[in-house]
Structure formats: structure tokens, C-alpha cells
Structure 1
């Protein structure tokens, strides 16, 4: 993978370009910067700018000190201000280059590409800027692809969540329906029991009536049997009496004399 080339255009203080009163602060800041004491160097550059706000060297070197402290947003603001107002092509090219680096660190690849292109307009022969431009373009493609993958993943997650929700809702409906059916079955069973209990007296009455009818029928049959028995006895008695009467009757025999 390509590696970003970080380069800074570090302006040395010069008594020919800057007023004497901020010269010592810038010099002190440069010395601290060389010692990698970037926070202290920042304070010296800010002190120089309080004495001369239009100090290009102080502004540029302040941006470098902020960049080294990884305060890329404020560093970018410094370089953008210098690049936008610079009349010198080399100064503008360096400011746009460093602005591109600051934007790269913030993963603002599209903006960094624009900054590198503006740097190359002012200095077309800067190979470091050209290299960083190609690197930024490559990183932008990867970022766009990653965003696309994330969008697809989000869509898949949303679809899966919707599917899970639909399944959950369906399961709930099935459970509710099952519960409703169970309640209906229970109600039907209860109704059957009520109907059975309701019909129980009728059945008892029917059984009683049947028993009564059977009893009445038996009584009638008994009566008939008794009547038949009496008739038989009476007939037997009459037959007996008749036999006895016939046996005791004298027979007159006519004599022929």
C-alpha cells in the first residue's frame, strides 16, 4: 500500500521580510520546533502573531506546530487562510499541500484531493504533492466502497430485522389464535356440560315415567293373571259341583210289570 508523504514548507525567519519585533518570537518558536517541543513552539508563534497579525511566517509555522500536535482541524484552518490569501505561488503551493495533508488525516479525502490539485496548479513539478494526490484518490475509492458495503450491510440488517419482526408477529398471531381456539374449546366443553346437566332432569323424568309405565303394565298383567286364575277356579268349582250333582241323582228304571 502506498504511504502518504508528509512534507512541510517551513519558512525561516528573515529580517528582510519581517519586522524586528516578532523576529525573536519566531526564532524562539523555530528553535523549540526543532527540539520537538511543539506546544511551546505554538505559544511562541502565537506571541509573534499578536505583535504582527500579518506575519506569514508566524502563521505558517503555527500551522505546522498544530499539525505536529495532531490538531489537524486548526492546522488546516491556518493553511487554508494562508493559501487563500497568498500572492506567492511557492507559498500558495506549500499551504495547499499542507492543507491537503491536514484533510487527509481527518479522512476528508475528497477535500484533500482538491487541495493537492490547487497545490499542483501553483507548482506542477512537486512530485510529493502529485504522489499524495494519487494516494488520496486511492483512499477515496476505498472509502466509497466501504460506505457502499456499509449501506448494503445496513440494508441487510434492516431486512433481517423486518423478517425477524414479521416472524415474531406471526408467532404472536399463532399463539393468540391457539389460545383463542383453546378458549373456544373450553367454552364448548362448558356448554356441553351445561346442556348435559340441563337435560339430566328430563332424562330422570323419562326414566321415572318408563318405570311407572312398566309398573303399570306389570300391574295390569298381574290383574289379568289374577282374573284368569279366578275364572279358572270358578270353572273348576262349577265343574266339580256338576259332577257331584250328576253322581248323586237317582236313575229311575222303568219296570215292565
Structure 2
């Protein structure tokens, strides 16, 4: 981030823009607190940055339109990690700066504030606008490249997450299709089994009916055979009776003939 430029502008504001004793005192106190906090690299001393903010606001009560002091105030807000407030203040200053270089500095820190909020698209656009005003600013070029790299990583991660979601959705769909196919197969197997059971029952019933018919036919045949045997016996008896009658008639005829023959001889 572009802290050297911010600090340089802050120090410039001490030597050029302070016109009254009280204002110099407030700005000097604010700059002192700010520099003490910056020098302590072991921790982020937000208390001193907050006290510096208070001193800058006291000076701005005397001279609210001063762009340099407002710039220092925005930097103090940034150091307290109040990035949204700092971004708004730097944006206001960018519109008020007189030279392209000063405007580029403000826009650079707009990009920094938005980058710290993970607003990558906004930070990239702020860095690009800063470079339009100062194309040779290497710090802005570096931060732009860094923001674009983060954007690409974010896009890659989103694509991976999207692919994971799609794969998960596809897996879920495949599982649903598999479950549905299994259910359909189970239903089909159940239907087939029911049909087979019905067919087996029908076959069994048909077989029982067929056996019953065969039994009836056999009974009928036996009955017919029995009747035929009785008829045959009756017929045979009738024939025997007829034969007997014929034999009797023949005997009678022979006896009568013999009798006539004897009578004729007596004559």
C-alpha cells in the first residue's frame, strides 16, 4: 500500500498549509501521533491513530475545506482499519485535487481502501483511474497487478466451487436416477413376480381343471365301459336265449318230421 506517499503529503501539509498558531498545534500533534504509530511496526496502534484523527478534526474545524488536512484525516481513518470511511473521504478528495498527480494519489488510496474490503472490482477500477492520471506510478501498477491476481484467484475459486457444485448436483442427480432406476426395477420385478405368481396360479388352476377333466373323462369312460360290459352280457344272454329257442324249434321240427315218417310207413 502507498504509505510513503501519504506520509509525504501529510508532512507537506505541516510546512505549507498551517496559517494560525492553534491550527499548527493541532496538525503538529496529529502528525506526531501518526508518526509514532507508524514507527511501531510490532503492532497496529489504533489508539494513537485515533488520537491523531481527533487532532486533525480539530484543525479542520478551523479550516474544513483544506484538502491536505482532509487527506491526513482519511489516512488516519485508513490506519484504524475504517476502510469504508477512508474510501469515501479519499473519493471526495480525488474530485477536489488540483493536479493529476494529487488526484492519482487519492485514487490510489481509494483502491487500497476497497482492496482491504475485498471489493476487488472497485479497487481495480480505482487503480486504473489513478494510472490514467499518473501512468508512471509504479506503486499503483503493482497494486493493480496484485488486485487483478486476487481477482483471478477469486474467479478460479468460484469456478472450482461451481464445478464442485455441478459435480455434486450431477452426483445427486445420478444417485437420484440410480435410486429411481432401482425403485423402477424393484417395481418391475415386483410386477413381474406378481405376474409370475398369477401365471403360476393360473397354470396351477388350469392343471387342476385339466386333472379334474381327466378324472371326469376317466369316470365317464369307466362308466361307459361298465355299461358296455353289461350290454354285452345282456346281448350274449339274449343270443343264448335265441339260440336255445332255435334249437328247441329245430328239435320240435325234427320230432314232427320223424313222426310223419313213421306214420307213412305204417300205411
* Structure 1 residues 14 and 30, CA gap change in structure 2 (3 angstroms): closer
* Structure 1 residues 207 and 66, CA gap change in structure 2 (3 angstroms): farther
Aligned to 2:95: 84
The superposition leaves residues 7-63 of structure 1 with CA deviations (integer Å, 9 ceiling, x where unpaired) of: 551314548635756665555544444332234544555566566543434532333
* Structure 1 residues 221 and 97, CA gap change in structure 2 (3 angstroms): same
Q: Is the 8 A contact 2:14 2:27 kept in 1?
A: no
In terms of mean alpha carbon deviation, does 133-142 or 89-98 score higher? Answer: 133-142
Task: State whether structure 2 residue 6 is matched by structure 1 residue 9.
Answer: yes
* Structure 1 residues 204 and 161, CA gap change in structure 2 (3 angstroms): same
What stretches of structure 2 of length at least 5 have no aligned partner? Answer: 38-44, 249-267
The superposition leaves residues 161-184 of structure 1 with CA deviations (integer Å, 9 ceiling, x where unpaired) of: 444444443333333322222222
Aligned to 1:191: 202
Candidates 206, 210, 220, aligned match of 2:217: 206
* Structure 1 residues 190 and 57, CA gap change in structure 2 (3 angstroms): farther
Query: In the aligned structure 2, how far is the partner of 1:200 from the partner of 1:25?
Result: 120
The CA deviation at 1:96 is 1.4
Task: State whether structure 2 residue 84 is matched by structure 1 residue 73.
Answer: yes
The CA deviation at 1:231 is 9.0
* Structure 1 residues 179 and 45, CA gap change in structure 2 (3 angstroms): farther
Paired residues for 1:44-83 under 5 Å: 45=56, 53-83=64-94
* Structure 1 residues 192 and 125, CA gap change in structure 2 (3 angstroms): closer
Candidates 163, 179, 182, aligned match of 1:171: 182
Query: In the aligned structure 2, how far is the partner of 1:228 from the partner of 1:6?
Result: 147
Query: In the aligned structure 2, how far is the partner of 1:110 from the partner of 1:140?
Result: 8
Query: In the aligned structure 1, how far is the partner of 2:57 from the partner of 2:213?
Result: 111
> Could you say what the CA RMSD is over the residues aligned between the two structures, in angstroms?
4.3
The superposition leaves residues 188-239 of structure 1 with CA deviations (integer Å, 9 ceiling, x where unpaired) of: 233344545566664554343233223223433454676788899x79xx9x
The CA deviation at 1:144 is 4.4
The alignment's TM-score, normalised by the length of structure 1, stands at 0.64
Candidates 225, 231, 236, aligned match of 1:220: 231
Paired residues for 1:67-146 under 5 Å: 67-146=78-157
In terms of mean alpha carbon deviation, does 161-170 or 89-98 score higher? Answer: 161-170
* Structure 1 residues 228 and 106, CA gap change in structure 2 (3 angstroms): same
The alignment's TM-score, normalised by the length of structure 2, stands at 0.63
How many matched pairs?
236
Q: Is the 8 A contact 1:72 1:105 kept in 2?
A: yes
